Chain A
Amino acid sequence: MSAAWGYRLTQLGFVATLLIAWHLSSTYGLVSPILLPSLTASWHEFMLLLLSGSYLPDLRVTLYELGVAFVIAASLGCGVGYIVSRSRYWVRVFDPLFAGLFSIPAILLFPLYVLFFGLGAGSKIAIGATIAFFPVVLNTITGFDYVDRAYITAARSMGASGLQMFWSVMLPAAFPVVLTGLRMGFILAFLAILGAETIASLAGLGHRIVSYAESMDPAKMFSYIFFAILIAFILNVLVSMLEKRVRRGPR
């Protein structure tokens, strides 16, 4: 058996142990069933949820918020990052500034965003876009700032125009770093939006989880938690697949 399989097996064993511990503690009444429903009941609710399709309205809300937030963060982040990267002075000013702002927990702005944009999708889009903006802008600055001088000199010697320099040299050279920023931004936006939905919202996966918790229906709450995990997993796989497609050719 190869080493990789050994690691996989240990990982599966770890998750299985957690699930067994959950199952045992709820079966033997170690934890109140109101706090921790039985694993089987939660799984049953999860299956019902999947089969009924009743997750659709909330999923649609969350994905819509994520999509809009990501598009805003990606276009602003790439745009601002590129402009900043054009000047040594601006890089010196803005790179540490954005890095500093990135380290502030942006979720603290959420109450303000609720006041500004309301309880609906607006405040979730705003918080998702705010959080995702930073990794995108920082990686865009780094990506364009560190393009190997040799590529630029070579292109210049062959007569590249400004536009050709951007499209055929700067952009592809900076692209891998920018892409990493976009990926981080996407994941952070998803986490922030789910979190924000659990704080104050009208709909969405996070909203549903909280509302079931508040109505003392923990099995249903867990079914939505499972569902959110499933969606996170699918999004991750999709992003990785997309990334592989875009990063074609060995570097």
Chain B
Amino acid sequence: MKRGEAAITVDGVAQAYGLEGDPRRVVALESATLTVARGELMCLIGPSGCGKSTLLNLIGGLATPTVGEVAIDGERVRGPLPKKVAYVFQESALFPWRTVIDNVKLGLAFQGVARAERGRRAEEALVAVGLADFANHYPGQLSGGMKQRAQLARALGLQTDILLMDEPFAALDEQTRMVLGEDLSELLARTGKTIVFVTHSLVEAVFLADRVAVFTARPGRIKTVITVEEGHPRSRGFMTSDKLARLRNELYELLHDEIRKTMGEARA
């Protein structure tokens, strides 16, 4: 499969909870149409409650859209696709009763990998994220950054083409976040995975993404998609460049009104 062709297509997708006409009905996502190319890192950014995490769950098959269709490799998504799509979640979704390496192995067991192969693949995944020395630690013994590395290892071990990341670095301090961002960019350059990354951070979005999809306030739609012309892996130099600053400001302008709207709604 070549870089550039569509890996994920989202066609007129909407998601609502509750029946039509019910006053408690919540429209989580009004309408989204989006194509993510193979090997691309697409960031989803927008105010709280705009439906960007909802869209991620629809892409991963963890939820079914009320309207519209999501397709991966041209095939309609009807449920989780563990062979094609791996997740990294915001909160630690590691199993605290298992060591780091056993967490990775369990993911492989769920995916259906033969027992004999699990150990080797788990070790490789831990090496890839720099956690080999902590294989036998429990998640509770790791720092926040290391936990997210471990989650990333669990997702990498699954060897899927697509990685969905739901604010994976949101709970981390800024320094840790920057380092993990650099590592992720390098990983992307090395493996050519297709990544959809939900974030709240403007800088993170510009630093990581090939394209950034900007959402409107609830009920969410995709307002615009901006392109970041910069190859991976991205260096520290890019972090401090004028180009990043300019794009960040552009993004801020786009988001500013939407965030005001969300806050106004919260105040009302």
Contacts and interface: CB of A to CB of B under 8 A. Distances in A.
Genuine A/B complex: yes
Interface of A: 150-151, 153-161, 164, 168-169, 172-173, 175, 249-251
Given A173-B97, A250-B138, A251-B97, A159 B110 contact: yes
Contacts of A157: 60, 62, 80, 82, 85-87
B26 interface: no
B62 A164 contact: no
B196 to A, nearest CB: 13
Nearest to A176: B97
A172 B109 CA distance: 16
A155 B106 CA distance: 9
Interface string B54-92: 000000101000000000000000001011011101011
Given A157-B80, A158-B111, A159-B112, A249 B97 contact: yes
Interface in B151-172: 154, 158
B140 A250 contact: yes
26 contacts: A150-B92, A151-B95, A153-B89, A154-B87, A155-B110, A156-B62, A156-B80, A157-B62, A158-B80, A158-B82, A159-B80, A160-B110, A161-B110, A168-B95, A168-B106, A172-B95, A172-B97, A173-B95, A173-B97, A175-B97, A249-B98, A249-B99, A249-B138, A251-B96, A251-B97, A251-B138
A169 B111 CA distance: 14
Q: Which secondary structure characterizes the binding site on chain B?
A: loop
B105 to A, nearest CB: 10
A168 B89 CA distance: 19
B49 interface: no
Contacts of B112: 159
B93 interface: yes
A31 to B, nearest CB: 55
Given A155-B110, A159-B83, A169 B89 contact: no
Contact of B91 (A150, A158, A160, A161): A150
Pairs A-B, 3 closest by C-beta atoms: A159-B82, A154-B93, A158-B110
B107 interface: yes
Most A-side CB within 10 Å, residue of B92, B96, B110, B111: B110
B141 interface: yes
A175 B97 CA distance: 10
Interface of B: 60, 62, 80, 82-83, 85-87, 89, 91-93, 95-99, 106-107, 109-112, 138, 140-141, 154, 158
Contacts of A249: 97-99, 138
Contacts of B141: 250
Nearest to B85: A157
A251 B97 CA distance: 6
B166 to A, nearest CB: 10
Contacts of A160: 110
A153 B109 contact: no
B97 A164 contact: no
A17 to B, nearest CB: 43
Given A250-B138, A251-B140, A158 B95 contact: no
Contacts of A156: 62, 80
A156 B80 CA distance: 7
Given A153-B62, A153-B93, 5 more contacts: A150-B89, A156-B62, A159-B83, A168-B95, A172-B98
B90 to A, nearest CB: 9
B107 to A, nearest CB: 5
Nearest to A165: B110
A151 B96 CA distance: 10
Contacts of B87: 154, 157-158
A245 to B, nearest CB: 14
Contacts of A154: 87, 89, 93, 95
B77 to A, nearest CB: 12
Contacts of A172: 95, 97-98
A211 to B, nearest CB: 49
B117 to A, nearest CB: 15
